[in-house]
Structure 1
Amino acid sequence: MTMVTESMHIEPLEDLPIGLRAGSPLLRPIEVIAATLLTIIIGLLLMGVTSRYVFSFPVVWVDEAASMCFLWLAMLGAVIAIDRNEHLRLTLFLQMMPERIRGFFGALGPLLVAVFLIGMLWPAIEYAMEESYITSAALNIPMTWRASALPAGIGLMVILALRDAIRSASLTEIAAATGVVAFALAVLWLVSSSLPALGHLNILIFLVGFVTFFLVIGVPIAFCFGLGALAFMTFTSSLPTIVLIGRMDEGMSSLILLSVPIFVLLGCILDATGMGKAIVEFLASMLGHVKAGMSYVLLGSLFLVSGISGSKVSDMATVAPALFPEMKRRGHKPKEMIALLATGAAMADTVPPSIVLIVLGSVAGVSIAGLFTSGFVIAMVLLAVLAILARWKARGEVMDGIRRAPMRAVGKALVIAAPALLLPFLIRSAVGGGLATATEVSTIAVLYAMIIGMVLYGGIRPGKIYDMLVETAALSGAILIILGTASAMAWTLTQTGFAFRMAALVTDLPGGWVTYMMVTIAVFMVLGCVLEGLPALVLMAPIMFPIAKNLGIHDIHYSMVVVTAMNVGLMAPPIGIGFYIACKIGNVSPDEAMGAIWPYIGALFIGLLVIALIPALSTAYL
């Protein structure tokens, strides 16, 4: 995990080490409940896996119980994330503003969050009441028990958003921000009768203009989408806002997404036990003596560690501290190391168990087993182009005094790293081979990592385990609320007929599927840079994937292009969040590293073009 300072341009989801982040004392009961819910979910999933694969007697109510706990975990996690200021938001432009108006926007942002939440509170209550008429199939209890998580979480977030507004600015600034919000709402209400006549122009006004403005002033991305969708539906249509609550519920509580908090927890265990460090040390003993060897070790470590944690931030935070001192000694410039770290993490994002692939499979209806199988191959293509560039860059590397590690030392490092090395291959083979679902494998992986960590890697103290559970809840809540509001906005966009118009426009472009691939690359590079990966996928996948299918593009091939393009944008300065996270981990100024990263971005882009133009790379092993 990484520590964020005021010099950062982006506030990421994962910005402080586990155990250093602390919420308000009043939120302690919520944290305890969230940690308990996560423990219950893991227990339920383990029960389901054991009953199905060991005793061949599936427990039919496990999925229902886990789903109910999952929605509560997502909403309470989002509450904790607001309390800890862990929701993803763009602060680049906010920091460029004069000091005298920054306080005003500091108050305006939380107020806008509160406006969205207040607007959704009564629809959430109605939704929970409507769910009382539906009884769960296995547990035979009203679904209100599950749906009540929405109004409960929204209500708590309203209180915290108003608290943040009061804390972040003076009374004068708060009054000014309140006046602006009230004035804007009044104007929109007065002109609402004429807005439907504008047709698709409303998309530019609300779903592009409003959302962009909210992003620029530092409103968390999840609530930017929610505000845009709510304003669009309220002032340009007669649809009830309860529909948005239903879309949010569907977008953030799919059973496939149950693996997200489990893999987040797995990344925490990786950090806490030192399993990732063992992998790094083994690769260093194998390759450290060759020219560009430490660069190969860095890339290989990111490749393998990603197969355990599923998190780019966890990958970089595990690998960089172990390798950077030796790389500096060999003459590597810090800015070059940062460039390789950032693009290496982007390369590794298709290595199972990638949370991005799991979310993409959920929102686009693509086989996660197929994504895991193909993602492993695609990552190797990107690994190859980065390794070639790294070798060329290391032509002047100082190798004086570097000797091959004795085979005894290599063997010892292998013995220590073997249990950790085994885990990514178990995950990939189990899901890719169809032996178990991603959710089941993630649960088994957590149990395996906990046991191996205790037996071979020193274990984890109980207090640390609790911190990891709470941190996992907060990170998962921040991710899932983005998926929920992005799903609501994507649904709103599709209801306008925009998707059909876009499909007709793209279908008529010369060049067929190749042209569409180039359009896809451009779109997702830009969205990956501005929005980060998950919201970009949830927002655009329902629109872009059907068009690709109509053009005859295999969904797995298209998925690999989308994810890779998104990651290239994610690491591209001056906005890409991944670039700034890498700079902070390596303690290098973004201004210094910015010039060095472009050759590596270029190498990734060449790899992306190869992947896009050769479908067999993605589909040959399915």
Structure 2
Amino acid sequence: MANPVLSPARAGIESSADDSRGARRLLRLFDRALIGLVEGACALLLAAEIIVLLAGVTSRYVLHAPLVWSDELAGMMFLWLSMLGAVLALRHGEHMRMTALVSRLSPARRAFVDTLAIVLSLGCLGLILVPAYGYASGEMAIVTPALEVSGAWRALALPVGAALMLMVGFIRLASVARVRHVMIAVAATAVVAGAFVWLGPWLESIGRANLIVFFVGVVAVGIFSGVPICFSFALATLGYLGLTTFTPLEVIVGRMDEGMSHLVLLAVPLFVFLGLMIEMTGMARAMIHFLASLVGHVRGGLSYVLIGTMYLVSGISGSKVADMAAIAPVLFPEMKARGAKEGDLVALLSTAGAQTETVPPSIVLITIGSVTGLSISALFTAGLLPAAVLAAMLCFVVWLRYRKTSLGDAPRLKRREIGRLFLIALPALALPFVIRAAVVEGVATATEVSTIGIVYSMIVGLLVYRRFEWARLSRMLVEAATLSGAIIFIIGCATAMAWALTQSGFSQDLAQLMSGLPGGAYAFLGISIVVFILLGSVLEGIPAIVLFGPLLFPIARMAGVNEIHYAIVVILSMGVGLFSPPFGVGYYSACAVAKDDPDKGMRPIIGYMAALIVGLILIAAVPWISTGFL
């Protein structure tokens, strides 16, 4: 018997295994150090944004001495925050993607499809990297007006962010993917890319039919394969412009920069952080307990509380998952104890998320205002009543379902106890009104007002509720930056894609088609509702808004539809699609929060969705619901 110590083959195998383990250990250490640096930078950038914007508000409104450089500095930091947040989103798998089809595959096939998605994302980033560096180099000669520094300091965020995402993607590929899957995915990607290059002259010769190849075919294959939506958009745009036009790819990066640099979008990370503050300080729990004291004793009372609480809390965090996660753990145990069925709970939670899409300060409202030029203040005012109409429709369904249900052991609280809970909840209930008043009265812009909310929440948490976890602040800043990075990066990619569609002449053709429809404004609204419900179920709200908003809003104006009214109808339509099974990712998010099987909610959600659609048709047919208080 051979001595294993002296066996060359055995020694070679053990040496190879040791080397592999050592390499993986080094890779993990490098990954941990890299992500730690990016997380620290994101936390510092977001904290600095809050300080700079708050200083701007204080200087302008209190001291009457505006800081001319505050917006410029905030804008520079914001692009870096967005790109670094996108790096974290890629690292943690938080970029928006459709997984309804991929999740139905067997584990082995799903692992290969996930590997293919990473390879395609890396290919997209590789195509962006060089043009992004060229774009940043071109910005070097531009001097900013207030700070008088080179524009390259801001634009370098694009190539640096792309390079970091490439590194993170390669690390993820090396850590989780099988070598065989990687080789097959790379080979398949190379073959398809080569075929597109070979077919380039033919694609150019077929004219606008190539739009179907890239913006329908490539986008659909990417999205349904689980490739993050942002990279699906970018791949289609890069392929179309690179193979069928003579447009330099630096132009795509410029359009991405334009889409990501709207200062109003800075409200996204700030409101996400504000939502986390509301949960951490106990403000959300105080609101829930007060509403439960009012109607908790009636049939289905806690279902009304869920709807009302979503109305009050929703829109502040910028994440429906965060809203639902703050509410469900407080209400669901008691609702189940009173006999509510799990499927009905997740169905109501999902549809309550859909009905509150227009409750200010909704991130979707801010996004649609940034890409269409509509007044954020007008959108905030217009969004309240339509959401209340949909809430009333959901309450009607709850009444129908629970009118014959036993009250169980739910006690009716005395007025003194209700008054006590009201006083406890009053500081929390006042927050939405403080935010709206600050915008309407001109104290702060829609971007700056979140800083007022953050300071207000800190004061209330420290002095009123005596609940403030300082140790969580850094993690909350990172969470806000990660979610915001995913949102802002997809806005940049969708902006580039919308620009490419506009340059192709597609927008003019679409305008002629839509404006020539019989039935006028109501036919246009009806088609828009159907289209955006479908888009919302596949693309989610923000990508669909950024992609189609600049194309359809001018058509709405030509058709005689009030743009504010149209914005509300579009947002609610996408909300219905987002939370509709089987494709709506919002529905599966609600199931994840409720820790429930998605199949259980399929039947109960039909009645709630029907109520939302009836309410949506009512809102579309009666413009006053959206515009009556403007």
TM-score for both structures, normalised by structure 2: 0.93
Q: How much has 1:307 moved relative to structure 2? A: 5.5
Task: Tell me, yes or no, if the aligned pair for 2:427 and 2:460 is still in contact at 8 Å.
Answer: yes
Task: Tell me, yes or no, if the aligned pair for 1:78 and 1:481 is still in contact at 8 Å.
Answer: yes
Measure, in 1, the Cα distance between the counterparts of 2:143 and 2:397. 59
Q: How much has 1:100 moved relative to structure 2? A: 4.1
Measure, in 2, the Cα distance between the counterparts of 1:485 and 1:398. 52
Which residues in structure 2 correspond to 1:214-363 (within 5 Å)?
A: 214-306=222-314, 308-363=316-371
Measure, in 1, the Cα distance between the counterparts of 2:440 and 2:236. 38
- The 3-state SS of whatever aligns with 1:309 is coil
Q: How much has 1:174 moved relative to structure 2? A: 1.0
Q: How much has 1:302 moved relative to structure 2? A: 0.8
Q: 1:404 maps to which residue?
A: 412
Q: 1:493 maps to which residue?
A: 501
Task: Tell me, yes or no, if the aligned pair for 1:110 and 1:161 is still in contact at 8 Å.
Answer: yes
Q: 2:517 maps to which residue?
A: 509
Task: Tell me, yes or no, if the aligned pair for 2:86 and 2:489 is still in contact at 8 Å.
Answer: yes
Q: 1:31 maps to which residue?
A: 39
In the alignment, structure 1 residue 153 sits paired with structure 2 residue 161: yes
Q: Deviations over 1:262-315 (max 9, x none)?
A: 000011111211210100000111111222321211111111112643432222
Q: How much has 1:176 moved relative to structure 2? A: 1.2
CA 1:536 to 1:608, structure 2 compared with 1: closer, same or farther past 3 Å? same
In the alignment, structure 1 residue 593 sits paired with structure 2 residue 596: no
Q: 1:520 maps to which residue?
A: 528
In the alignment, structure 1 residue 429 sits paired with structure 2 residue 437: yes
Measure, in 2, the Cα distance between the counterparts of 1:391 and 1:234. 57
Q: How much has 1:433 moved relative to structure 2? A: 4.5
Q: 1:385 maps to which residue?
A: 393
Q: How much has 1:621 moved relative to structure 2? A: 0.5
Q: Deviations over 1:33-72 (max 9, x none)?
A: 1110111111100110000000010000000000010000
Task: Tell me, yes or no, if the aligned pair for 2:82 and 2:481 is still in contact at 8 Å.
Answer: yes
Task: Tell me, yes or no, if the aligned pair for 1:310 and 1:352 is still in contact at 8 Å.
Answer: no
CA 1:69 to 1:375, structure 2 compared with 1: closer, same or farther past 3 Å? same
Measure, in 1, the Cα distance between the counterparts of 2:408 and 2:254. 64
CA 1:255 to 1:393, structure 2 compared with 1: closer, same or farther past 3 Å? same
Measure, in 2, the Cα distance between the counterparts of 1:428 and 1:528. 27
Measure, in 2, the Cα distance between the counterparts of 1:415 and 1:315. 23
Structure 2 residue aligned with 1:137, among 125, 131, 145? Answer: 145
Measure, in 1, the Cα distance between the counterparts of 2:451 and 2:412. 39
Q: How much has 1:249 moved relative to structure 2? A: 0.6
Q: 2:554 maps to which residue?
A: 546
Task: Tell me, yes or no, if the aligned pair for 1:364 and 1:542 is still in contact at 8 Å.
Answer: yes
Task: Tell me, yes or no, if the aligned pair for 2:269 and 2:480 is still in contact at 8 Å.
Answer: yes
Report the residue type matching 2:420 in the other structure.
K
Task: Tell me, yes or no, if the aligned pair for 1:70 and 1:253 is still in contact at 8 Å.
Answer: yes
CA 1:481 to 1:308, structure 2 compared with 1: closer, same or farther past 3 Å? closer
Q: 1:582 maps to which residue?
A: 590
Q: 1:180 maps to which residue?
A: 188
Pick which of 424-433 and 257-266 moved more: 424-433
Q: How much has 1:184 moved relative to structure 2? A: 1.4
Measure, in 2, the Cα distance between the counterparts of 1:505 and 1:440. 40
- The 3-state SS of whatever aligns with 1:478 is helix
Task: Tell me, yes or no, if the aligned pair for 1:106 and 1:168 is still in contact at 8 Å.
Answer: no
Task: Tell me, yes or no, if the aligned pair for 1:316 and 1:585 is still in contact at 8 Å.
Answer: yes
- The 3-state SS of whatever aligns with 1:398 is coil
Q: 1:6 maps to which residue?
A: none
Measure, in 1, the Cα distance between the counterparts of 2:144 and 2:297. 61
Structure 2 residue aligned with 1:394, among 389, 402, 405? Answer: 402
Measure, in 2, the Cα distance between the counterparts of 1:122 and 1:61. 31
Q: 2:50 maps to which residue?
A: 42
CA 1:56 to 1:434, structure 2 compared with 1: closer, same or farther past 3 Å? closer
Q: 2:81 maps to which residue?
A: 73
- Equivalenced residue count is 601
Q: How much has 1:403 moved relative to structure 2? A: 3.0
Instruction: Could you list the structure 1 runs, at least 4 aligned residues long, displaced by more than 6 angstroms after superposition.
Output: none
Task: Tell me, yes or no, if the aligned pair for 2:82 and 2:484 is still in contact at 8 Å.
Answer: yes
Q: 1:86 maps to which residue?
A: 94
Q: 1:367 maps to which residue?
A: 375
The structure whose Rg is larger is: 2
Measure, in 1, the Cα distance between the counterparts of 2:96 and 2:431. 30
Q: 1:51 maps to which residue?
A: 59
CA 1:597 to 1:126, structure 2 compared with 1: closer, same or farther past 3 Å? same
Task: Tell me, yes or no, if the aligned pair for 2:57 and 2:443 is still in contact at 8 Å.
Answer: no
- The 3-state SS of whatever aligns with 2:201 is coil
Measure, in 1, the Cα distance between the counterparts of 2:177 and 2:40. 30
In the alignment, structure 1 residue 567 sits paired with structure 2 residue 575: yes
Report the residue type matching 2:96 in the other structure.
L
Report the residue type matching 1:616 in the other structure.
W
In the alignment, structure 1 residue 483 sits paired with structure 2 residue 491: yes
Structure 2 residue aligned with 1:108, among 109, 112, 116? Answer: 116
Q: Deviations over 1:74-123 (max 9, x none)?
A: 01111111111211211221122344433332221111111111111111
- The 3-state SS of whatever aligns with 1:350 is coil
Structure 2 residue aligned with 1:534, among 542, 551, 554? Answer: 542
Q: 1:461 maps to which residue?
A: 469
Report the residue type matching 1:428 in the other structure.
R
Over the residues paired in the alignment, what is the CA RMSD in angstroms? 1.5
Task: Tell me, yes or no, if the aligned pair for 1:573 and 1:579 is still in contact at 8 Å.
Answer: yes
Measure, in 2, the Cα distance between the counterparts of 1:291 and 1:183. 62
Task: Tell me, yes or no, if the aligned pair for 2:233 and 2:493 is still in contact at 8 Å.
Answer: yes
- The 3-state SS of whatever aligns with 1:429 is helix
Q: How much has 1:571 moved relative to structure 2? A: 0.8
CA 1:297 to 1:234, structure 2 compared with 1: closer, same or farther past 3 Å? same
Q: 1:9 maps to which residue?
A: none
